[in-house]
Amino acid sequence: MTATLMDGNLLRDETVARLRAEIEALGNPHVCLATVLVGDDRPSQIYVRNKHKKAAEAGMASKHVELPPTATQAEVEAAVRELAADPTVHGILVQLPLPAGLDEEAVLDLVPVDKDVDGLTEASMGRLMRGREGHVPCTPKGVLRLLERYGIPTSGQRAVVIGRSSLVGLPLAVLLARKGIDATVTLAHSRTKDLVTVCRDADIIIGAAGIARLITAEHVKPGATVIDVGVSRTEAGIVGDVDFDSVQAIAGAITPMPGGTGPMTIACLLENTLEAARMLGTVPR
Ligand code: NAD
């Protein structure tokens, strides 16, 4: 058996084309994503560049603010405050992590909830927990989109999310358990005992621990869906949490790495940016 490949590049391209068509049908209103990058981390620079490239393909404007690694807390906060007050900016993304010594929470606190297209602020997380309308974090949302697109049943299914960060694992677990998605969710983490046994019962396994090849064939029930969020940089290149070669032989569906959840994170960022323009009244609902 060979697993169905859940192609994130393909679904991202479909999403970008759909957003472009929606924006064109609205008469090409100005919809703008702003990014803030502090420091000279190479992977972060590449992520941000891709976000701008895909925003342009979707028919959106974008703005980029770059600050040196020596930027002070006050300088970073001033940049975010300016974007927050700018009526021509709809979405604000602060590329994380910020260089050591800067207070991320204080910076995120300055992003207005409607412009918080990353869905990471306290207010967005509160909306998510309360089931209210708001921006859902992009990586978890991308995982849901992949499940939908590939027709993976979730209702009453057992899902294991590995990793409990507020960026990925925790919101994803909440979303999977939500009414309408209705999975029975286990949230595993670094203190979980016997991860193999926990995973072997699961219909859906999502690796978001950042541990290279943590999930092997022995974790996977035949036919289960396996989604890889983790990104580890090793000497052999970029490696996910899933040992792709062994797992694809047993899984029913699997994401490639790269080309799975990464592109979907960008697609969902752009979805959220158009939604932000709606929330802010620039674009009709
Ligand atoms: P994090 O370091 O904040 O969280 C990692 C989580 O994994 C923690 O909750 C920890 O308890 C858990 N964990 C660590 N070791 C474990 C183990 N041996 N067994 C089980 N659980 C373990 O990381 P994060 O920000 O949530 O990111 C997770 C991974 O996803 C990273 O590799 C990151 O690069 C990647 N990521 C990918 C995308 C994407 O678009 N594909 C987006 C964001 C993050």
Q: pLDDT of 204-257, one tens digit each?
A: 999 999 999 999 999 999 999 999 999 999 998 899 999 999 999 999 999 999
Distance 120 CA to ligand 1 centre (A): 15
pLDDT in tens, 155-202: 999 999 999 999 999 999 999 999 999 999 999 999 999 999 999 999
* Nearest alpha carbon, ligand 1 atom 22: 190
Q: Which of 6, 165, 199, 255 to mutate to test the pocket of ligand 1 (most atoms within 8 A of CB)?
A: 165
Averaged pLDDT, 30-57: 97
95 is catalytic: yes
Among 106, 100, 108, residue whose Cα is nearest residue 69 = 100
* pLDDT score, position 132: 95
Q: Is the shortest distance between the CB of 198 and ligand 1 below 6 Å?
A: no
The DSSP bridge partners found for residue 188 are 162
User: Which one of 118, 203, 241, 243 is the catalytic residue?
Assistant: 118
Structural domains of the chain in order of their starting residue, each with its CATH number: 28-112 (3.40.50.10860), 138-262 (3.40.50.720)
Helix (DSSP H) and strand (DSSP E) numbers for the chain: 10, 11
Among 133, 153, 169, residue whose Cα is nearest residue 225 = 153
Q: Is the shortest distance between the CB of 255 and ligand 1 below 6 Å?
A: no
Q: Is the shortest distance between the CB of 159 and ligand 1 below 6 Å?
A: no
pLDDT in tens, 24-41: 999 999 999 999 999 999
CA atoms within 13 A on the CB side of 25: 8
118 is catalytic: yes
Q: Is the shortest distance between the CB of 162 and ligand 1 below 6 Å?
A: yes
For residue 1, pLDDT beyond 70: no
Distance 88 CA to ligand 1 centre (A): 34
Q: Which atom of ligand 1 is nearest to 241's Cα?
A: 32
* pLDDT score, position 250: 97
The structure tokens listed for 193 are 């005992």
Cβ proximity of 135 and 276 under 8 Å: yes
The structure tokens listed for 65 are 């603010």
End-to-end CA, the chain: 45
Among 17, 1, 44, 3, residue whose Cα is nearest residue 256 = 3
Average pLDDT score, the chain: 97
Distance 229 CA to ligand 1 centre (A): 8
Cβ proximity of 155 and 181 under 8 Å: yes
Cβ proximity of 76 and 36 under 8 Å: yes
Distance 140 CA to ligand 1 centre (A): 12
Q: Is the shortest distance between the CB of 225 and ligand 1 below 6 Å?
A: no
Q: What are phi and psi of 158, to 5 degrees?
A: -90, 125
228 is catalytic: no
Q: Which atom of ligand 1 is nearest to 192's Cα?
A: 20
